[in-house]
Amino acid sequence: MLHIRTYLTAISLFVGASLLAVEEKTLTLAGSTTVLPIAQRVAEEFMELHPDVNISVRGGGSGVGIAALIDGVVDIANASRPMKDEELKLARERGVNPVPTIIANDGIAIIVHPENPIDEISLDQLKAIYTGGISRWSELGGTNRPIVVISRDVASGTFEVFKKLVLEGENVRPDAIRLASNKAVAVTVAKTPDAIGYVGLGFLSPEVKPLKVDGVSPTPENVISGKYKIVRPLYMYTNGEPKGLAKEFIQFILSDEGQNLIKELGFVPVRLPK
């Protein structure tokens, strides 16, 4: 009987260790829709190199990802803005120690429909459009049609940065259409001739036209040089310093291979890959 118990105990320990190993091979990320294509692409490459690893990546917005990290339901929160004071306070109250890693840089591009005759805009004009001071394209030298203002929702880190850098803290006009992702903004602007919106550099395509802002085009080169002014870092937050699989994943993003993937996606590497 003793031998049977010993055998069953050994099996139980083996199964428990196996389940733990499976847990350690699983990584969950959520948050910023700006960081989403980076996280997805890097996750695909990482899983190709490590077939025993399963990485789940979701969007939802920076606020959603940060809340999920505080609640302990994700390993990494993707964010296109720094955490707010109230988020940090809540995290500490729950015993969570959010640590940011900057994995890329980005410019926020102002986009219009390709048929729009406007090619550039000033920061002052942009602020006036989004706060209600300018309502028709004719006020900017375009057609005599109303401007369809496309913005992001309040969970968006892109919105928080845009509000700080462009609107200088003022509220977006009440008739603005608020959308949940960079992709949704890009698709809506592409289908709406009188629309204006803003997206991360990785979401530019021939289907939309990026405007020069104060005479400067939204390009990675102009973000690096500092000429383009609507810029922000992109973060991955972990509970404490990255460790285990999360550390390996973030180290891969910061490697030459990871930074080259970021560059291919149209974002700006945090360092120049070899």
pTM of the model: 0.85
Strand 148-152 and strand 195-200: the pairing is: parallel
CA dihedral 35, 40, 46, 47 (to 10 degrees): 150
Tell me what pLDDT residue 20 has: 43
Asked if 195 and 113 touch (Cβ cutoff 8 Å), the reply is yes
Q: Would 2-105+234-264 and 106-231 be classified into the same CATH topology?
A: yes
Q: Which long-range contacts (CB under 8 A, 24 or more apart) does 241-250 make?
A: 241/99, 242/99, 242/101, 244/24, 245/24, 245/25, 245/26, 245/27, 245/53, 245/75, 246/27, 246/75, 246/76, 249/27, 249/42, 249/43, 249/46, 249/55, 249/76, 250/76, 250/101, 250/103
Fold type of domain 2-105+234-264: D-Maltodextrin-Binding Protein; domain 2 (3.40.190)
Which residue from 126, 102, 100 is spatially nearest to 112, judged by alpha carbons?
Answer: 126
Tell me what pLDDT residue 24 has: 52
How many residues are present in the chain?
Answer: 274
Asked if 233 and 158 touch (Cβ cutoff 8 Å), the reply is no
CATH code 3.40.190.10 for 106-231:
yes
**Partner residues linked to 237 by β-bridges:** 77, 100
**Mean pLDDT in each 10-residue stretch from start to end of the chain (274 residues)?**
45 45 76 96 97 96 96 97 96 97 97 97 98 97 96 92 96 96 97 97 96 97 95 97 97 96 94 68
Domain map of the chain by residue range?
2-105+234-264, 106-231
